[in-house]
Structure 1
Amino acid sequence: MSEANTQPQGPESIEHAHDPEVLQLAAKVFDLARHGDTDTIAAYVDAGVPVNLTNDKGDSLVMLAAYHGHLDTVMALLQRGADADRPNDRGQTPIAGAVFKGEDEIVRALVEHGADPAGGTPSAIDTARMFQKTELLKLFGVE
């Protein structure tokens, strides 16, 4: 079994949720992350929505916010304890997604919160090399 398939099933995953209201709320929260609605998503997390909630593809709220370029949302989630390194079901990490999308400020924020640039497939290091992002490679301690 690959590491990507060992994600916890339970309150942080909607994979087995059957209640239409729960699924509707989860879909709304994922959209908030995608669109960078920082205040609203922070309020939902503060009210009890799991900060490491994942969708049916294993994408966390941090992953979606990072990939779509929402630094403030990423920061709000990290400050509430979100896992900066949590891979999705394909082994992709938020930091590699941010490198791919050219979101250098988000990459720095994730590193500051413990994200491992060598983790995931492809890793952030591999992605930075592919796109010749020398400043990020320096940040990661490789060149």
Structure 2
Amino acid sequence: MSEADHGPEQGPPPDVIELAGRIFDFARHGDTASLSAYLDAGVPVNLTNDKGDTLLMLAAYHGHAETVARLCEHGADVDRLNDRGQSPLAGAVFKGEDDVVAVLVEHGADPTAGTPSALQAARMFDKEHYPRRFGQGEA
């Protein structure tokens, strides 16, 4: 059968796209309770947007340590890179989100993952306390 027999390839229905947008907003805005309810209902914890950003990346980058912790408890991949090769830990280091960095490190995030890695970002932006937190000595 050809594509003509099936019609054009269609994306997700508009209501699914709208729901996904709300779920990404819960992560972006640190609405841990709402996000948790959807995760408990079966939303994939490693759901990604059109840029490859996971829920964890959005929560980490926007400084929501409680949301990051909840996502980690649900099994989020702490080292999953977005489409630009960035890790959630590197995003949190770049933004100076100490509480988020602490949660990610506690859950095993690799400071050498991605480009630039969290370790490289710490050194680029003179954030000397992060390499020590990663067990990497001085910046």
With the length of structure 1 as denominator, give the TM-score of the two structures. Answer: 0.86
Letter in 2 for 1:125: L
1:64 counterpart SS class: helix
Runs of 4+ in structure 1 displaced over 6 angstroms?
none
Corresponding residue for residue 79 of structure 1: 73
- What SS does the corresponding residue of 2:77 show, helix, strand or coil? coil
Amino acid aligned to 1:83: D
Rounded to whole Å, the distance in 2 between the matches of 1:28 and 1:65 is 13
Structure 1 segments unaligned to the other structure (5+ residues): 1-15
Which ranges in structure 2 are unaligned for 5 or more consecutive residues? 1-9
Rounded Cα–Cα distance in structure 2 between residues aligned with 1:113 and 1:46: 20
* Match in the other structure for 2:17: 23
Which one of 95, 98, 111 corresponds to residue 92 of structure 2?
Answer: 98
* Counterpart for residue 31 of structure 2: 37
The reply on whether 1:128 has 2:122 as its aligned counterpart is yes
Larger Rg belongs to:
2
CA distance in 2, matches of 1:36, 1:127: 24
User: What value does the CA root-mean-square deviation take over the aligned residues?
Assistant: 1.1
Identity over aligned pairs, percent: 64
- Aligned partners of 2:11, 2:29: CA distance in 1, in Å? 23
Contact 1:17 1:23 in 2 (8 A): no
TM-score by length of structure 2 reads: 0.89
